[in-house]
Structure formats: C-alpha cells, structure tokens
Structure 1
Amino acid sequence: MNRTIFCFLVMSSWAFLSQAQRVDRQIGELIEAYARLGKFNGSILVAAHGKTVYQKGYGYQDIRKKTLNNAATVYQIASVTKTFTATLVLKLVELNRLSLADKVARFYPHFPKGDSVTIEQLLSHTSGIPNPESEVNPKTEVGSDEDRFLAAFKDRTFDFSPGTDWKYSNSGYILLGYIIERVTGMSYYDAVRTYLFTPLRMNHSGFDFKGLASPDKATGYWEYPESDTVQAATLINFEGPRAAGAIYSTIGDLYKWHQGLQAGKIVGLPLLDQAYQPVKSSYGYGWIIDSVAGAKVVWHSGDIWGFKSELARVPADDICIIILNNIEEVDLHSITRKILSILYHQPYQLPARNRIQLSPSNLQEYVGEYELRPGEWIKVTVEQNRLKSTTNRKQELYAQKKDFFLVDDGKEHLGVTFNRNDSGQVTNLSFTLGTRTVVCPKKE
C-alpha cells in the first residue's frame, strides 16, 4: 500500500476514534442528566457510519426484582411498528402483489369510500379513516377480529375526504395489516416474521408481549420507578393495536432493522427513498420526515401504556438512534434532537427541570385551551401533578417561578408566560419566537 495513503487512513481512523470518544462522553452526560431527573429509564443505542458509538441501559427493568435495564431488555415499541408495516407493504409492491394506487375496495368491496381510499393514503395517514370511538372486545362480540374491525366503520363519518388532508390514523394501519393478510395468505404476524424478522435475524422481536416469558422482559411503569410500591402499567393485548403498534423488540434488533433498511436487504433503496418523501404534514410512508444540518432525518415514536420508544435515522450518513423506555412520563424526541445536535456538532442544552414545585391548586389555574392561530389550539392539562401542553405532540411545562415555565423542544428552552387580568385570572399565555412575541388567548 502507498505509504501516503496508509498514513492518511491511520490518521482518519484516529480522528474518528477521537470523535467517537467525545460523542460517547457527551451522550452519556446528556442521558445521565435525564436519568437523574427521572426522565429516562430504559435502553439506548446510537450508531454512526456502521459503528456503535453509545449503548447503555438505565434504571430498572423490574424494580420489584431489582433487575436493571441493559442492551438485552425487551420493550414494547408501540407505533414504531408502523415502520415495519409500511416496509412490508412496500415489499409486496416490489413483488408486484400490491400497488400503491390500489383501492381498499379491491379487498373490501363494501368498505365505506373503499373506491376512493388508496394504499398510499393509508400509509401516509391521508385516507380520512377515523379511529374507532371504542375498542372492540373479542370476548363479547361475535365474528372474527377482522369482521369486528370492519363493522366499527359501518356508520362512522370520515374525518375528511380521502387525500385532502392529514390525520394520524391507527385504524388505517390496522387496515393495512388485514390487507397484508389478504395478499400474503398468512397472518400479519407470520408475514412480518417471514419477510422482515427472519431475513434480518431479529430473534428477540415478536408480538405477544403480554404472554412473553423472558427474564429480559421489561415491566412498564406510568412514572419513574423510585420504589417497589410504584404501580406497573396494565399490559394491552397485542390483538388491539395489531399492525399499528403490536411489536416488541430490543435496541439490538432495531439496529438490525436499521442496517437491513440501509443495505436494501428488504426493499430496494429507490422505493425506500420514496417512503422517506413527505406526503402531508411531514409524514411519508410509515416515517416522519425532518432534517438536521441539511441532512434528512426519518423517525417514528411509539407510546403504549407503560412504554415509550423512538427510532430515528439519517440514511445519508448511516446514523441510527434507538431509545426504548419502560416509563410513560418521558419526552424521547427532545432527547433524540439533542443527540443529533451532538453528532452534528450543533449547540444543545441539558434538560430543563422544575425550579419550584407548584401546588395542585396552582397548576389547575393554567388548565385550559389557548388559541395558537385560528382553528389551532394549545391544550394545557395537569397529569400526575405535572403541567403538560399539547399541540401536535405533548410536552411538559417546567415551572421556574409562578406563571413562568420552560418547554424543552430538544434544541432550546422556550419560555412560556401565563398572563393574568386585574382579578388574578389567567387570560392568555405568551412566548417569544426570535423577535416576535406570540400571545395565545385562553378559551372562555
């Protein structure tokens, strides 16, 4: 080998090693800060350019048994399942067994608006199919799961005409699961195992988490488990969320998922690139689309009783962030954005926290809806003595002093002020974006 080339390669490897060590320290400091605040209890893996730069478990897998989370811990991943369902649909498209333009009526001639709703619309949440008002109970209702699911839409009104708007629809993905069954002739679960899990050797992933007997199985908690008296969350049967959120997995298996997608092992890269293009509201086919430092980020989060999950990828730079938690009260996307800032050498802040603790009666004064813009509202609620704001996602408001809070959006701490009238009643909230102050009146 040419001496100059050899020296360059050695220097490059040293530079990457040095950078990886620095990134490892920064990520560790970040996650440990969240863990100390009770905002992280789970497992994390961060990889870049084919190398794992950070991997660690935090907190209790099961506080009563005093087992700790680690790389082998098994978690429910909830709606990260949608990345699998969408990819399986694309695999069937690649095999010419399905088309993105196919109508639901091809499979279900009597489904409402079935001659208007396409596979692509189901993938991108633009079908207008509403979520059922209540869950069906397979033990008390007659017919198959599929029959009961379809019957729930018989008298329901669509949220909008197919293709004209966007609204997140678990029902749309459950319907995709049933369509997969019709196309493949096997159950959705067997189809995922056959086309996705088995080729990628994802041996620690499955569906029936409630029935899973494994020493690595995490117990889900509503809040950070500080003592063995903390209440465990009720487990939801996998036949409820189905193709919208039934999968359980580990950080190791999800990294295999990333690697398989990167290499085009399951679906060809041109079709995957199509999945990474936003259709509406920054959503593609099973992926939310964002960017960092000019590079495209594709990600999805998951939330089911007792568990939160997030998978974020930068395909162009072979970056993968996997965060799995067995507590409900966490904002994983803020953590993801900060890790991306670390990887791309951008500024970030350690997590915001409550400087003071307000009484339940004080917190109730802020509860209500605040108009962000015509027809769009910020909903402020109190959950487990914590103030939360909900727009397109739910975030905690951290009290710094009476009437002044911080929202941690993953890039910066946004100050939010609740303003009162002369009688002391909260009338609006305000925050500053750049040089502009935004005032949001409270609904009376």
Structure 2
Amino acid sequence: MISKRVFFLLVMSWAFGAHAQPVKQQIKKLVDTYADLGKFNGSILVAAQGKILLNRGYGYKDIKHKTRNDPQTIYQIASLTKSFTATLILKLVELNRLSLTDKVSQFYPNFPKGDSISIAQLLSHTSGLSDNDSINKTKTYQGSDEAQFLAALKDRALDFSPGTDWKYSNAGYILLGYISEHVSGMSYYDAVRTYLFSPLQLDHSGFDFIGLASLDKATGYWEFPESDTAQAATLIDYSAPRAAGAIYSTIGDLYKWHQGLQTDKLLSPPLLNRAYTPVKSNYGYGWIIDSVAKAKVVWHSGDIWGFKSELARIPADDICIIMLNNIEAVDLHIITRKILAILYHQAYQQPARTRIQLSPGLLKEYVGSYQLRPGEWIKVSLEGNRLKATTSRKQEMYAQKKDHFLLDDGREHLGIFFNRNSSGLVTDLSFTVGERKVVCPKKE
C-alpha cells in the first residue's frame, strides 16, 4: 500500500513535470512584479525535486557602475549564518567533541549562571542571554576579542532564567562560535570552512566581505536604488556579528548547502531532525519552523546594513527558495509565502500596487502616529512620494483613492482607511481584522 506521504510526493512530482511551465511562469511573474515595484533587488533561486524553476538576478549590483545582479552576485547573508553555526555545533556533537547538555560553565567557569545555560539553549535562543540596547540599535558587537565579549556579557543581566522563555539572541550565537573554537582546536571561521564549506565546495562563500575583491560583490543599499545618487549602506566588518551573522555567499552556494543537508552529507538524520524540531516560539536549532500544506518548512532570514536574505526549505519534498537582496527595505518572507502557495497550488495574491498617485500635499495629511493599543503606535511617514507604515517593520501603503490604502502581508491585502472630522482633518485610521474593526486615534 502506498503511504499518504509517498502518494503526495508522486502527485507533486507529476505536478512539477506536467505543469512545470505554468508554475515557473507564475513564480517568475510574481518576482518580476516585486522587482518592478522596487521591492526586490537581488538574486533568487527556486528549486523543487532537483529541478531549477527560477535562477536569476534583478536590479542593480552597483547602480553607479550600472552593473546588474545575476546568479553569481555575492551578498552578505547576515543571520542566515546561524543555520551554519548550528550545523557546525551539531557536527561537533556528532564527533563527540561536544554535547547538547554541556553547560557554558564547562568552558567559562566564572560565567554568571553558566552552570544553568546549555549548548541546546544557546542554539534555540532559550538561554536568556541578552543583546543590550546599543547592540540592537547599531547591529554591532564588541565581539572581535573573546575576553572583551565575555566581559560585556557578564555585565548584562539575563533576560530570563535559562530554559523558561524565548528571546532571539545574537550574543548566544557569538558565544557558540567561541565555544566551537575551544572544542575544535581551530578558529570558528576555519571550522566552518573545514566541516561545511569544503565538503560541499562552497567556493564563493566566506567571511571578510569588506576585504573581498571580486567583480561579483554587491553594493548594499538602504532602499531600492533609483538613481546613481543612491546612498550605499555602511558595511559592517565580519568580526562584529561573527558566528551570528558573518557569512557572505551566493544563491548557487546556498543551493549546494540545501543539497548537502538533503543528502545527509553533513549530519546524520537524527541530529538534523533535532535541528528541525521547534523548542520554543517555532525555533529549533538555527532554523525557524513553519508549515505549508501540512509539510514542514524550515527557514531563516538575515538582515544587516544594506542586505536582506532568506532561505526556506521543505526537506520532505526537496523544495528550496533562496533570496539574497542588496537592499534592506524589503520583506522577503512575503515573497517566500507566495512562492510556497504557488508550489502547493494554494491561493495567493499578486503584490498590492499603487493604483493612483495622490498629491504630495494630500499624502502629508496622513503623516503622524496612530495608537494601535496602549504603548504601541503605528507611525505613518512620507518617503519621497511613498507612504510608509511602521510597527515592528516598515511597509508601503498603496493608495487606492483618497483616504483608502492597502497593505500587503503576504497572504492578503489589508485595507487601511483614514477618517476625518467635520473640518476635514485626519483623526484616526481604521482597518478590519476578521469581523473586528480596529480604530487607531491619531496623536495630536
């Protein structure tokens, strides 16, 4: 008897074989649209069951020199590095150099509460180790020197008792990098090259992006580069994020990375399954865990000045989506979700567009802060001729008519309405979630 999973794979295989062209066309049309809107500027690779469905670059690699992005363009991948660091740690576990239950105190005897923080907790962001405010704001770390980094950590209180909660911690992954040096006998960078890069021939990946001399190297921008006066983002040296975000790579190398994980070339299946199993807040060991059509999605994103990245994989169906962008003001996960919808024949929407262009004077009337709930605000700002809404992330608002805009969250378009008083002044914005209308008063 054919199992349900095998039957599903057979159906998927038939779909990609018999209807590959429509799927490829839908994915290309989707990404083309995002690129045309200035919401994608980089390289993308989409593959399913070993077949490449899309592999190309969009927009400018360097607008001043008018060079274009292509599949060979090299980008900083930022926190995608965490999947590499986690795999390195698990490889050292497999080699019996380390145990997931080992405590930080075994490597740093005087570390505060080090006997309560395990390797597994560092991997899953459940250690309680804090990234202080200055780190979060600048995305820089005093991590180029181990002693200095440890001193900074010791001066910082834990956010919670280890294992009791979840909070994303770059510091925890930097610490994992240092621990890997103690047990491997080599630098973190050499260990990654030895155990991960070399076996998979990731020849276009490395760490020192600033020092990289290559015509394929991308220039990072804050926003979509519309002219040669676009400001390049300040580059962050790899010694700052270290094991939390130091790697640069290409979509081709990251596809080899996916293939290496698929074939168990790097790790045994039991350890990979541990990595793909959520601990808290849908985070495993270096991967965020989600699902689509009852299939497990493992993914991670990256964000560093001038660059955004995302890698999403469905190991059971051998599906891989890789996006590397040399602009920071994009939301790649929206595109990931829509590509997955195409691959699994689910409903999705093309990105919202500006149907009309409102006058600058009218757009300025919407600018301000709107209270979402006590202590939380939606900040509406005007950048050029584009209206942006910022909560935990910034999104463009697409004008449909006066006082009516759309936001695109990846699954559906959310209608935003600005309301006015009898004098014509904007007093609040409102939107509907399900059957509930949410009204957000404008700060006076």
Q: Normalization by structure 2: what TM-score? A: 0.88
What residue ranges of structure 2 are gaps of 5+ in the alignment? 1-10
Distance 1:88 1:361, change over 3 A: same
Distance 1:404 1:14, change over 3 A: closer
Match of 2:372 among 370, 373, 387: 370
2:107 corresponding residue in structure 1:
107
Aligned residue identity for 1:89: I
For 1:421 and 1:394, how far apart are their aligned partners in 2?
A: 27
Give the conservation status (yes or no) of the 8 Å contact 2:416–2:431: yes
* Pairwise CA distance, 1:394: 4.6
Give the conservation status (yes or no) of the 8 Å contact 2:204–2:249: yes
Aligned residue identity for 1:364: V
Task: Say which SS state the counterpart of residue 172 (structure 1) adopts.
Answer: helix
2:238 corresponding residue in structure 1:
238
For 1:164 and 1:327, how far apart are their aligned partners in 2?
A: 36
1:298 corresponding residue in structure 2:
298
* Pairwise CA distance, 1:404: 3.5
1:176 corresponding residue in structure 2:
176
- Could you tell me the percent identity over the aligned residues? 70
Task: Say which SS state the counterpart of residue 153 (structure 2) adopts.
Answer: coil
Give the conservation status (yes or no) of the 8 Å contact 1:59–1:69: yes
Task: Say which SS state the counterpart of residue 83 (structure 1) adopts.
Answer: helix
Aligned residue identity for 2:23: V
For 2:25 and 2:144, how far apart are their aligned partners in 1?
A: 52
Give the conservation status (yes or no) of the 8 Å contact 2:102–2:119: yes
* Pairwise CA distance, 1:252: 0.3
Give the conservation status (yes or no) of the 8 Å contact 1:356–1:399: yes
* Pairwise CA distance, 1:15: 6.1
Give the conservation status (yes or no) of the 8 Å contact 1:370–1:428: no
For 2:412 and 2:234, how far apart are their aligned partners in 1?
A: 34
Aligned residue identity for 1:323: M
1:189 corresponding residue in structure 2:
189
Distance 1:130 1:142, change over 3 A: closer
Please show how residues 40-51 of structure 1 align to structure 2 within 5 Å: 40-51=40-51
1:5 corresponding residue in structure 2:
none
Q: Deviations over 1:58-99 (max 9, x none)?
A: 111111221111111101101111110111111111122111
Aligned residue identity for 1:388: A
**How many equivalent residue pairs?**
425
Q: Deviations over 1:379-416 (max 9, x none)?
A: 4353745423334x554433434544322111111223
For 2:145 and 2:152, how far apart are their aligned partners in 1?
A: 11
Distance 1:130 1:440, change over 3 A: farther
Aligned residue identity for 1:168: Y
Alignment pair present for 1:21 and 2:21: yes
Distance 1:15 1:162, change over 3 A: closer
* Pairwise CA distance, 1:167: 1.3
* Pairwise CA distance, 1:417: 3.4
Task: Say which SS state the counterpart of residue 225 (structure 1) adopts.
Answer: coil
2:3 corresponding residue in structure 1:
none
Q: Deviations over 1:261-311 (max 9, x none)?
A: 111111111211111111111111111111111111111111111111100
Give the conservation status (yes or no) of the 8 Å contact 1:80–1:310: yes
Aligned residue identity for 2:329: E
1:250 corresponding residue in structure 2:
250
Give the conservation status (yes or no) of the 8 Å contact 2:16–2:23: no
For 1:94 and 1:437, how far apart are their aligned partners in 2?
A: 53
Task: Say which SS state the counterpart of residue 134 (structure 2) adopts.
Answer: coil
1:390 corresponding residue in structure 2:
391
* Pairwise CA distance, 1:327: 0.9
For 2:353 and 2:434, how far apart are their aligned partners in 1?
A: 23
1:89 corresponding residue in structure 2:
89
Distance 1:403 1:255, change over 3 A: same
Give the conservation status (yes or no) of the 8 Å contact 2:370–2:428: no
For 2:180 and 2:316, how far apart are their aligned partners in 1?
A: 30
Deviates further, 189-198 or 97-106:
97-106
For 1:394 and 1:197, how far apart are their aligned partners in 2?
A: 35
For 1:439 and 1:123, how far apart are their aligned partners in 2?
A: 40
Aligned residue identity for 1:61: K
1:220 corresponding residue in structure 2:
220
Q: Normalization by structure 1: what TM-score? A: 0.88
Aligned residue identity for 2:367: Q
Give the conservation status (yes or no) of the 8 Å contact 2:404–2:416: yes
Aligned residue identity for 1:44: I
Alignment pair present for 1:267 and 2:270: no
* Pairwise CA distance, 1:54: 1.1
Distance 1:19 1:142, change over 3 A: closer
For 2:201 and 2:191, how far apart are their aligned partners in 1?
A: 15
